């Protein structure tokens, strides 16, 4: 197999016809967070053309996942979008459950817990976005307010799953054990603290003339362009298209929760900012409903020894349980052959998995539809004609996570 790649694009400064020149921005530029290079064609301060160069964080997660058991693959998949780990695992778990044909048998309490973590991770992810976006714009204090709130959510993740960043708490068939004692009290405290903290964040930014100057009318994207460039999530809803996977293709019982899908019509960086802030408030609204449903006790894992290991207590008493436990740990479970596409609304947009099973104990193909990849690609349409200084705002407002772009 010969190499089919063409010559690499050299980012040296070359003068072209006219006054335009080629300039490399990143991967060391602070606003690109070390993993994105933009090859810019500029005329003075204006961007004529932009060619993002990605792949700096490519770790072959899809290939790795295809060589692990179904349950092990989840641990690497959770590390794709490292700011919203539970969105990744939720989507993967739902897709695998569809292939197994057990979607209807997942206990309702497990579904409520999944919604809880999906929304917590949405708030946490938007906090990181807001903090770093504002640092890129030169507003440092927002970072501390946002990260303080995120820290409370990481505490909750640690309580439930044992790890702050990648708890791997959701499982195929349910969740890994019930919520620990004391969890609900912490959740209550977070729900109570949230509105005040949101008011702080809004107060710092929403009417701030410097912030408005930097974001209003910058990085414009029209609705038809957004759809053509496959932009989803808050960036799409900031152009006015009310497409939210939670409403269009409900999962985990989202159809039974009351929440709005915030939209704006301006399609600029400020509109994306407002949409994300409103999304955090809607997530808070969902959390309040989740909290009420969590009072009802119940099982959190499917009762099917072919998929879920039996409870630890039964192992000493039942030979069957011991055998099932041993089988699941040593060779995993088998998934019937077939393919499936499942998507969820991650904080960045439609996160999808196209899974293929060949009937074995490892996923045969794990294809991700990473929202960040497509959202970032749209920078080709957005940045043209803008100033170089506004590129920083553009990247920040699209909120790409490179673990997911490069995988």
Partner 1 sequence: MPSTQTPPIAGGAIDPPSLRPPIADARIERVDAARLRARLEELHAQGWTMLLDLGAADYPLRAPRFDVVYHLLKLSPAARTVAEVGTPERLRLLCGVEAGDARLPTTTDLWPSANWAEREVFDLFGIVFDGHPDLRRIQMPHTWEGHPLRKDYPLRGPARERSPRPAFALKSNVQAGVPPSGDTLAALQEQRKKS
A 10 A CB-CB count for 392 gives: 20
Report the run of H or E that residue 158 belongs to, with start and end.
helix 141-161
Per-residue burial over 100-129, b = 16 or more CB atoms within 10 Å of its CB, e = otherwise = bebeeebbebbbbbbbbbbbbbbbbbbbbb
- Interface mask toward partner 1 for 286-305; x: CB under 8 A: --------------------
Task: Single out the residue of 240, 253, 299, 305 in contact with partner 1 (rule: CB under 8 A).
Answer: 240
Question: Which region, judged by CB under 8 A, interacts with partner 1, from 23-31, 153-161, 247-255, 280-288?
Answer: 247-255
Based on the shown chain and the rule CB under 8 A, indicate whether residue 58 belongs to the binding site for partner 1: yes
Question: Nearest to residue 92, comparing CAs of 339, 308, 346, 352?
Answer: 352
- Interface mask toward partner 1 for 378-397; x: CB under 8 A: x-xx----------------
Contacts with partner 1 by CB under 8 A: the residue count is: 69
The answer to whether the beta carbons of residues 238 and 264 sit under 8 Å apart is yes
Where residue 182 falls (left for φ over 0; alpha for ψ -120 to 50; beta otherwise) is left
Where residue 345 falls (left for φ over 0; alpha for ψ -120 to 50; beta otherwise) is beta
Task: Single out the residue of 45, 359, 385, 389 in contact with partner 1 (rule: CB under 8 A).
Answer: 359
Question: Which region, judged by CB under 8 A, interacts with partner 1, from 6-14, 77-85, 153-161, 384-392?
Answer: 6-14
Based on the shown chain and the rule CB under 8 A, indicate whether residue 1 belongs to the binding site for partner 1: yes
Q: How far apart are CA 73 and CA 92, in angstroms?
A: 9
Q: Residue 359 Cβ, how far from partner 1 at the closest point, in Å?
A: 3
CA distances from 236 to 211, 221, 392 (A): 21, 9, 19
Q: Residue 134 Cβ, how far from partner 1 at the closest point, in Å?
A: 28
Under rule CB under 8 A, which residues in 60-119 are in contact with partner 1?
60, 62-64, 67, 98-99, 101
Based on the shown chain and the rule CB under 8 A, indicate whether residue 210 belongs to the binding site for partner 1: no
Question: Which region, judged by CB under 8 A, interacts with partner 1, from 58-66, 79-87, 140-148, 275-283?
Answer: 58-66
The answer to whether the beta carbons of residues 335 and 356 sit under 8 Å apart is no
Based on the shown chain and the rule CB under 8 A, indicate whether residue 189 belongs to the binding site for partner 1: no
Question: Nearest to residue 82, comparing CAs of 207, 167, 160, 176?
Answer: 167
Strands 338-346, 349-357: parallel, antiparallel or unpaired by DSSP?
Answer: antiparallel
Q: Residue 234 Cβ, how far from partner 1 at the closest point, in Å?
A: 15
CA distances from 390 to 46, 218, 387 (A): 10, 7, 5
Question: Which region, judged by CB under 8 A, interacts with partner 1, from 80-88, 117-125, 155-163, 261-269?
Answer: 261-269
**Binding interface with partner 1 (CB under 8 A):** 1-9, 54-55, 58, 60, 62-64, 67, 98-99, 101, 223-224, 226-230, 239-244, 247-249, 261, 263, 265, 334, 336-342, 350, 352, 354, 356-362, 364-365, 367, 369, 373-374, 377-378, 380-381, 406-407
């Amino acid at each position: 197999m010969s190499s089919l790649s063409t010559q690499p694009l050299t980012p040296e400064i070359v003068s072209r016809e006219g006054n335009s020149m080629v300039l490399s921005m990143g991967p060391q530029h602070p606003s690109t967070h070390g993993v994105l290079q933009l090859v810019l064609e500029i005329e003075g301060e204006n961007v004529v053309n932009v060619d993002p160069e990605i792949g700096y964080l490519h770790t072959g997660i899809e290939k790795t996942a295809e060589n692990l058991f179904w349950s092990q693959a989840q641990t690497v998949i959770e590390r794709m979008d490292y700011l919203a780990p539970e969105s990744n695992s939720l989507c993967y778990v739902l897709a695998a459950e569809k292939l197994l044909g057990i979607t209807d048998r997942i206990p309702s309490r497990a579904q409520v817990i999944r919604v809880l973590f999906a929304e917590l991770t949405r708030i946490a992810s938007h906090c990181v976005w807001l903090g770093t976006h504002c640092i890129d714009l030169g507003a440092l204090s927002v970072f501390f307010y946002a990260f303080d709130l995120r820290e409370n959510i990481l505490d909750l993740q640690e309580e439930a799953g044992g790890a702050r960043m990648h708890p791997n708490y959701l499982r195929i068939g349910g969740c890994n054990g019930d919520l620990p004692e004391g969890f609900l009290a912490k959740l209550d405290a977070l729900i109570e603290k949230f509105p005040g903290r949101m008011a702080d964040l809004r107060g710092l930014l929403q009417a701030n003339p410097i912030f408005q100057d930097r974001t209003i009318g910058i990085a414009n994207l029209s609705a038809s362009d957004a759809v053509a460039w496959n932009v989803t999530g808050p960036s799409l809803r900031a152009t006015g298209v009310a497409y939210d996977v939670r409403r269009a293709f409900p999962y985990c019982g989202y159809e039974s929760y009351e929440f709005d899908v915030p939209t704006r019509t301006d399609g600029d960086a400020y509109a994306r900012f407002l949409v994300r802030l409103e999304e955090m408030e809607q997530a808070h609204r969902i959390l309040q409903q989740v909290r009420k449903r969590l009072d009802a006790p119940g099982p959190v894992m499917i009762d099917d020894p072919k998929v879920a290991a039996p409870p630890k207590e039964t192992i000493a008493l039942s030979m069957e349980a011991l055998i099932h436990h041993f089988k699941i740990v040593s060779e995993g479970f088998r998934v019937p052959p077939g393919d499936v596409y499942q998507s969820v609304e991650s904080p960045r947009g439609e996160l999808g998995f196209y899974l293929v099973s060949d009937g074995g104990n490892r996923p045969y193909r794990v294809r991700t539809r990473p929202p960040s990849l497509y959202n970032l690609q749209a920078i080709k349409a957005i940045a043209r004609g803008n100033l170089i200084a506004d590129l920083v705002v553009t990247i920040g407002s699209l909120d790409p996570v490179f673990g997911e772009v490069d995988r």
